[in-house]
Structure 1
Amino acid sequence: MTEPTYVVGHQQPDTDTICSALAYARLKQEQGTAAVAARAGDVNPETEFVLDRWDVDAPELLEDAAGEQLILVDHNEYSQTVTGARDAEVVEIVDHHRIGDVETSSPILFRNEPVGSTATILTQLFDDADETITTQTAGLLLSGLLSDTVVLRSPTTTERDRTVAARLAEIADVDYESYGKELLMHKSKIGEKSPREMVLSDFKEFQFDSRKVGIGQIETVEPSVVLDQRDAVLEAMEEIATERDYAVFLLLVTDLLEEDSTALVAGPEIATVEDGLDTMFSDREAFLPGVMSRKKQVVPPLEDAFY
């Protein structure tokens, strides 16, 4: 029996990660690979809506990847990989983030492009392979693209994303603006989550020089739902920063309607964050006008500040 190759995204998976794993596993299967879509954590409310809308089961939960073959999608840093990834064989990477620290013993296919979503790259991979994108697969890819680009409003959005979104929407037979608004409403559902669950729901860990930095993001049309719990949220952030030995834990509460963010910060190196983001925190809170993208507007300047 052929051993499976797991197509898996990052921890605390978002819609682009889950949909990319599903779509790329389908493409690899068409090409003869025993590919299995996997996930490294629970799906969020927005992704649950997408899976239900397109009648697709969630990817298999991969709790320990040690000894397995992996295709990484939507990330390429060990701090974000599934447990056991350091002891797995990474055979491919498809991503749209900065180049991280995943190392391989042999050359692999590493597709990394500066676009708004991994789904945009995967659409091109389907074309390169001359494989048809079905209505269902188009729905998944469109969902990942619209989610990651905040319905093409994020500063990470490129003209290529816009072109691909229009094409996928036609295949999926949806109006992408209307469908995108549905996604935004489900993206905003924080539900009955505890402050700790909220701040870790869309969370990534980075290694800047010798220091670990956690950056979370809550995208919502009702930021007051989070900010009204400010003290409890900050307490949870401090606990996590201490547990994980973070130099900083930064949380972006992003208002999807106003297209800006409020930042909360915990940990000992707040001054470094102030330098990197060119802002001042008052009682561990700062307003960041126009900031919507962790990847483009927050990670690069913080990385520079820490080095």
Structure 2
Amino acid sequence: MPSSLHVIGHQQPDTDTICSALAYARLKQAQGVDATPARAGEVNPETQFVLDRWDTESPSLLDDAAGEQLILVDHNEYSQAVSGAHDATIVEVVDHHRIGDIETSDPIYFRNEPVGSTATILTQLYEEANKTIDAQTAGLLLSGLLSDTVVLRSPTTTDQDRSIADHLADIAGVDIEKYGKELLQQKSKIGEKSPREMVLSDFKEFEFESHQVGIGQVETVEPEVVLEQREAVLAAMDDVATERNYTVFLLLVTDLLKEESTALIAGTQIDTVEDGLDTTFTEQEAFLPGVMSRKKQVVPPLEDAFN
């Protein structure tokens, strides 16, 4: 039986990864390619709000990708990919993160740009293919873009993101600030989760030299909801770090209104993290003024520190 072609994002999927899978699968279908959107985990409250708002079904859950064909969106590292990715055929990658460890036996289409979201790149791909973006797809792409750039406030935001956001908002018929505030409110529903669900809801695993490092992030307008459960959250982080043999598990609790983060940490080599982030942890906690982006402000200095 021939393998299927799945467009899929990373584990612990966020809004950009889900919306990108949906939008790129639609573009592929418009180009005559039999591609299906898929997801590598459960959707979070913000993403479910987006799917409901734009009357779109969630991509189907792919538990094991072994033997399948994959188009990876919003990631390009095996540690973040769907189970079985090592035994799948990766035929394309569209991403906006650092270049990771994905390997292929044949040349593939690999699009990676230093922009604020994968949705930004996909909008360009629609334009390059001369394919029309309908209002629903524009709403999905705009949602992914605004979510990943924290409504264009993240330091990862580029002029390209801003221009494309305006274009998508016009097609979708929404006001960026008004709709963005609705997305921010949905992010704050993290407080409804258990401590373990909180720390793993927006989570990525990295390999720095021989060190396995987990970095989670909670973006919210109510950081106190998370920090009031500090001890339970740290206990959950300790459990995950032990189970997965992480050198370090770092959690960013990001205040979207004040544009700053509080970092909680578990594991060993805390001093390495302190050196990388130029901070000091007291009782497993540190304040990181101005830090909002894991991708731009946390991962690069930590990679340098561990290497």
Give the Cα–Cα distance (whole angstroms) in 2 for the partners of residues 65 and 290 of structure 1.
38
- Structure 2 gaps of 5+ residues are none
Q: Within the alignment, does 1:175 sit opposite 2:190 as a pair?
A: no
Q: Within the alignment, does 1:46 sit opposite 2:38 as a pair?
A: no
Matched AA of 1:188: S
- Matched-pair contact (CA < 8 Å) for 2:19–2:119: yes
Equivalent residue number for residue 212 of structure 1:
212
**Residue aligned with 2:16, SS:** helix
Equivalent residue number for residue 223 of structure 2:
223
Matched AA of 1:225: V
**Residue aligned with 1:65, SS:** coil
Equivalent residue number for residue 129 of structure 2:
129
- Matched-pair contact (CA < 8 Å) for 1:15–1:47: yes
Equivalent residue number for residue 239 of structure 2:
239
Equivalent residue number for residue 189 of structure 1:
189
Equivalent residue number for residue 301 of structure 1:
301
Report the alpha carbon displacement of residue 194 of structure 1 after superposing the two structures with TM.
1.1
Give the Cα–Cα distance (whole angstroms) in 2 for the partners of residues 287 and 128 of structure 1.
43
Equivalent residue number for residue 272 of structure 1:
272
Equivalent residue number for residue 57 of structure 1:
57
Give the Cα–Cα distance (whole angstroms) in 2 for the partners of residues 197 and 17 of structure 1.
18
Matched AA of 2:29: Q
- Matched-pair contact (CA < 8 Å) for 2:17–2:74: yes
Equivalent residue number for residue 31 of structure 2:
31
Report the alpha carbon displacement of residue 3 of structure 1 after superposing the two structures with TM.
4.2
Equivalent residue number for residue 17 of structure 1:
17
- Matched-pair contact (CA < 8 Å) for 1:3–1:34: no
Equivalent residue number for residue 115 of structure 2:
115
- Matched-pair contact (CA < 8 Å) for 1:213–1:246: yes
**Residue aligned with 1:28, SS:** helix
Equivalent residue number for residue 161 of structure 1:
161
Question: Given the two structures, how large is their TM-score scaled by the length of structure 1?
Answer: 0.99
Q: Within the alignment, does 1:93 sit opposite 2:93 as a pair?
A: yes
Give the Cα–Cα distance (whole angstroms) in 1 for the partners of residues 69 and 93 of structure 2.
12
Report the alpha carbon displacement of residue 92 of structure 1 after superposing the two structures with TM.
0.1
Report the alpha carbon displacement of residue 4 of structure 1 after superposing the two structures with TM.
2.5
Give the Cα–Cα distance (whole angstroms) in 1 for the partners of residues 192 and 304 of structure 2.
37
Worse overlay, 89-98 or 189-198: 189-198
Identity, % of aligned pairs? 77
The CA RMSD measured in Å over matched residues stands at 0.8
Matched AA of 1:101: D
Give the Cα–Cα distance (whole angstroms) in 2 for the partners of residues 224 and 69 of structure 1.
43
Equivalent residue number for residue 291 of structure 1:
291
What do residues 14-51 of structure 1 show as CA deviations (whole Å, max 9, x unaligned)?
A: 00000000000000001111100000000000000000
**Residue aligned with 2:182, SS:** helix
Question: Given the two structures, how large is their TM-score scaled by the length of structure 2?
Answer: 0.99
